[in-house]
Chains A and B, each alone.
Chain A
Amino acid sequence: MTKAAQSIKPHRATTGSWYEFATRHRASIVAVVILIFPLVMPFTALAVNILIYGLYALGFNLVFGYLGLLSFGHAALFGTGAYLCGIAIVHFGWPWYAAIAAGVAGGLLMALLIGVLAIRTRGIYFAMVTMALSQCVYYLFYQAVDLTGGENGLRGINVRTIDLFGLRIDFINPMIRYYVIAAFVIAAFFVMSRILASPFGAVIEAVRENEMRARASGYDVTLTRLLTFVLSGGFCGLAGALQALHLSIVPIEILHYETSGLVVMIALLGGMGTFFGPMIGAAVFLVLENIVSVWTVHWQLIVGAIFIACVLFFPAGIWGTLIARGRR
């Protein structure tokens, strides 16, 4: 078929706009931005927070934006990652890299557990079941005082130096700490980009677009959903582990449903189902929070109003709106 032979090239480069460029090099662009980011931030701790919440939202967005399921229990995945990383260091004296691996594994495993129970429900029921299960996780960690410190949180996650192939890196220095965490976040963005560009990435979107059609085409919709949820758990677990290292403490509030709600807001603000949306959402939200809370104690009122305005006037989120403009 001659037509088929001609078609392979124009298939990708039809518009050739900045958007096409951004899509093709999306992970590299994130990497560059992350590397120069702390230089333009008022203080490094805020930059680290944005990185971690951006990663958390990136994992959440895989389920919310790409798979089309609203989970209200992602705090359980984020929090389990943080606790497992912290417990590995405090109680078992594991080295930092093994503790991070424990956090990722915790996120994956918790996602599998919650996923198996919740994945057959849809819409509001999925949101409710995930929220209820994440509350169960909250109480589980709350009660296990010996391991988690209960109400007081898990304290004493002191990682002063990081040994890397004989190199001793000072983890107390905020700038160095930022770049160590950034390395993990950038790697996660590359992995996410890879997943979205994979055959499975196409299946995820197909399931979101039309469940019945996907099933008729021969895809196991339930298994696809479960796998996506578990993958999301891995990213959120990593974000949690990095948060534990960054804060040196895991507060019990990390498992609170507010943490679940926060990531929904971040993803909506940045643009659900977009690659850059979660990071942009995290940056805008946390910077806003910082600026407004210096100015008034009622910062939640102002940030909430801005959030409502965004949802009303830019339902596609900041990045989603930019994409729509750019395509025109």
Chain B
Amino acid sequence: MSAVAGQAGEIILRTSGVGKTFGKFVALNNISAEFSRGAITSIIGPNGAGKSTYFNLLCGAFPPTKGSVEFEGKDVTGLPQHRFAHMGIAKSFQITSVFPQLTTCENIRVGLQALVSRYDIWRPRARLTELVERADELLALVGLWDSRERAAKTLAHGEQRALEIGMALASQPRLLLLDEPTAGMSPEETRTMMDLIVKLAKERTVILVEHKMKLVLGISDRILVLHHGELLAEGTPQEVRQNEAVKRVYLGQREH
């Protein structure tokens, strides 16, 4: 459980009746939900439930077809993706997404630089030493300090995922969105990642998309269950576990 869960009550993010259609296919239909500051909220559901679509609406990867998204009381529906980082929302991708040729340290340094200097073509960037120092702190936090000089493409899968979290943290987000952060990880890497997420949630709000229900039951304050693009159930892990509709959906397929 995250330490600041007690302050919950203040709404950091709200979606009102959001829906997304791709052509004639309705990926997501009329989802209204509220996310509390300081909590870990998990979005779960079987394959094709619309989790990733919902995630992409929350982080601004694409706008909803209808409805609106509100962050800290401001309507952010349809804002371009790059604005989200500046507002305090950061995300990690489902498919690992780093700058492959750049070193691990440079990956994070570039992430940090986005808040400080984006269009300066004259001052040497070597002078922005505080960025390198801050990058090193983040590398230590996500456990990659030893790999700081290696090109990101040479890192192991689990390390790349950790690097991605570090890059997301670089924009100093108040809301951290993670799309299946343990996808493709070994059990050991998964445990390390879960520990890291709990640690990160002490200082910021975390919204997590996860396919494997077991993984998130232990760490979440609140869980949303999506099914066929609809909000099937919502509540504490206890409530969701006992929900009949959820049981039916999850029993219908193999437990992972």
Interface-lining segment among B21-29, B41-49, B80-88: B80-88
- On chain A, the residues within 8 Å of B114 by CB distance are 217-219
Question: How far apart sit A8 and B85, CA to CA, in the bound complex (Å)?
Answer: 27
**Contact assessment for A201 and B125 in the assembled complex, using a CB-CB cutoff below 8 Å:** yes
Query: Chain A nearest CB: distance from B56 CB in Å?
Result: 11
Tally of chain A residues near chain B (CB < 8 A): 36
- On chain B, the residues within 8 Å of A217 by CB distance are 82, 85, 110-111, 114, 167, 170-171
- On chain A, the residues within 8 Å of B115 by CB distance are 218
- On chain B, the residues within 8 Å of A220 by CB distance are 80, 82, 118
**Contact assessment for B82 and A221 in the assembled complex, using a CB-CB cutoff below 8 Å:** yes
Interface residues of A in 1-50 (CB under 8 A from B): 1, 3-5, 7-8, 10-12, 14
Partner of B85, one of A4, A200, A218: A218
**Contact assessment for B102 and A205 in the assembled complex, using a CB-CB cutoff below 8 Å:** yes
**Contact assessment for A210 and B120 in the assembled complex, using a CB-CB cutoff below 8 Å:** no
Q: Does B246 contact A (CB under 8 A)?
A: no
Question: How far apart sit A201 and B106, CA to CA, in the bound complex (Å)?
Answer: 12
Query: Chain A nearest CB: distance from B122 CB in Å?
Result: 6
**Contact assessment for A195 and B121 in the assembled complex, using a CB-CB cutoff below 8 Å:** yes
Partner of A194, one of B109, B119, B122, B148: B122
Q: Which residue of A lies closest to B135 (CB)?
A: A4
Q: Does A311 contact B (CB under 8 A)?
A: no
**Contact assessment for B82 and A219 in the assembled complex, using a CB-CB cutoff below 8 Å:** yes
Interface residues of A in 181-237 (CB under 8 A from B): 194-195, 197-203, 205-206, 209-210, 212-221, 224, 227, 231
Interface-lining segment among B6-14, B91-99, B202-210, B229-237: B91-99
- On chain B, the residues within 8 Å of A212 by CB distance are 93, 97
Query: Chain A nearest CB: distance from B173 CB in Å?
Result: 10
**Contact assessment for B97 and A197 in the assembled complex, using a CB-CB cutoff below 8 Å:** no
**Contact assessment for B125 and A206 in the assembled complex, using a CB-CB cutoff below 8 Å:** no
**Contact assessment for B121 and A7 in the assembled complex, using a CB-CB cutoff below 8 Å:** no
Question: How far apart sit A303 and B118, CA to CA, in the bound complex (Å)?
Answer: 42
Counting chain B residues whose Cβ lies within 8 A of the other chain, the interface size class is 35 or more
**Contact assessment for A209 and B100 in the assembled complex, using a CB-CB cutoff below 8 Å:** yes
- On chain B, the residues within 8 Å of A206 by CB distance are 99, 102, 110
Q: Does B128 contact A (CB under 8 A)?
A: yes
Q: With contacts A212-B93, A218-B85 known, is A231 near B113, CB below 8 A?
A: no
- On chain B, the residues within 8 Å of A8 by CB distance are 129, 132-133
Q: Does B90 contact A (CB under 8 A)?
A: yes
Partner of B140, one of A1, A194, A213: A1
Query: Chain B nearest CB: distance from A323 CB in Å?
Result: 13
- On chain A, the residues within 8 Å of B121 by CB distance are 194-195, 198, 200-201, 231
Q: Which residue of A lies closest to B92 (CB)?
A: A216
Query: Chain B nearest CB: distance from A212 CB in Å?
Result: 6
Q: Which residue of B lies closest to A228 (CB)?
A: B121
Partner of B124, one of A4, A11, A197, A203: A197
Question: How far apart sit A282 and B143, CA to CA, in the bound complex (Å)?
Answer: 46
- On chain B, the residues within 8 Å of A1 by CB distance are 133, 136-137, 140
Query: Chain A nearest CB: distance from B92 CB in Å?
Result: 9
- On chain A, the residues within 8 Å of B126 by CB distance are 12, 197
Question: What mask results when residues 137 to 154 of chain B are scored 1 for a CB within 8 Å of chain A, else 0?
Answer: 100100001001100000
Q: Does B105 contact A (CB under 8 A)?
A: yes
Q: With contacts A203-B110, A216-B93, A218-B171 known, is A4 near B99, CB below 8 A?
A: no
**Contact assessment for B136 and A7 in the assembled complex, using a CB-CB cutoff below 8 Å:** yes
- On chain A, the residues within 8 Å of B148 by CB distance are 7, 11
Q: Which residue of B lies closest to A220 (CB)?
A: B82
Question: How far apart sit A200 and B129, CA to CA, in the bound complex (Å)?
Answer: 16
Query: Chain A nearest CB: distance from B18 CB in Å?
Result: 20
- On chain A, the residues within 8 Å of B140 by CB distance are 1, 3-4
Question: How far apart sit A1 and B133, CA to CA, in the bound complex (Å)?
Answer: 9
**Contact assessment for B145 and A3 in the assembled complex, using a CB-CB cutoff below 8 Å:** yes
Query: Chain B nearest CB: distance from A22 CB in Å?
Result: 17
> What 6 new A-B contacts, CB under 8 Å, besides A3-B136, A212-B97?
A194-B122, A198-B124, A199-B116, A202-B106, A213-B93, A218-B114
Spell out A's residues near B (CB within 8 Å): 1, 3-5, 7-8, 10-12, 14, 194-195, 197-203, 205-206, 209-210, 212-221, 224, 227, 231
30 sampled A-B residue pairs with Cβ under 8 A: A1-B133, A3-B145, A4-B133, A8-B129, A11-B132, A194-B121, A195-B121, A197-B126, A198-B121, A199-B113, A199-B116, A199-B120, A199-B128, A200-B117, A201-B121, A201-B125, A203-B118, A206-B99, A206-B102, A209-B102, A210-B98, A210-B100, A213-B97, A216-B84, A216-B91, A216-B93, A217-B171, A218-B114, A218-B115, A220-B80
Spell out B's residues near A (CB within 8 Å): 59, 80-86, 90-91, 93, 97-102, 105-106, 109-111, 113-126, 128-129, 132-133, 136-137, 140, 145, 148-149, 167-168, 170-171
Which 4 A-B residue pairs are closest in the complex by CB-CB distance? A218-B85, A218-B114, A4-B136, A209-B99
